[in-house]
Amino acid sequence: MMNNMVLLHGRVTQQPVMFDNKDGSKAVLFTVACNRSYKDEDGNTPTDFVEVRGFIPAAQAKKKNPLGVYEFVDKGSLIGVQGSVRSESYNKDNTTIYKQVIQIESIDLRESKAAREARANK
């Protein structure tokens, strides 16, 4: 059996962007900076910037607090993501562009409210 499962732990690099879908759901897009587990020849830890996408179902989008956990995700947030790799393509200037996005299945906040507030007040 082969599984398509990804686990990421890192910081959000930009304020998440939300889009409304035709069916009333919302898409949430942002990038997570994840350090690799080794240091390069200069002693630096390489960092990967991974694009992730989450969804807020239409039924939840109509509730009083429609954003759920995404309400607390902002630039600099330390998060954990479990998801799967999705391959996508689009055409730009008659060239097919391929990219991979992590589709979020679950997301965890990995810092306390106090740490989040202290970071926001800097």
Q: Are strands 78-92 and 17-20 parallel, antiparallel or unpaired?
A: unpaired
Question: What's the pLDDT score for residue 12?
Answer: 96
Question: What's the pLDDT score for residue 35?
Answer: 95
Report the DSSP beta bridge partners of residue 85.
Answer: 102
Report the DSSP beta bridge partners of residue 98.
Answer: 89
Cα separation, 62 vs 57, in Å, equals 9
Residue showing tokens 């309400």: 71
Question: What's the pLDDT score for residue 108?
Answer: 94
Per-residue pLDDT band at 1 (split at 50, 70, 90): confident
Per-residue pLDDT band at 23 (split at 50, 70, 90): very high
Give the tens place of pLDDT for each residue, 32-53: 999 999 999 999 999 999 999 9
Residue showing tokens 């990804």: 6
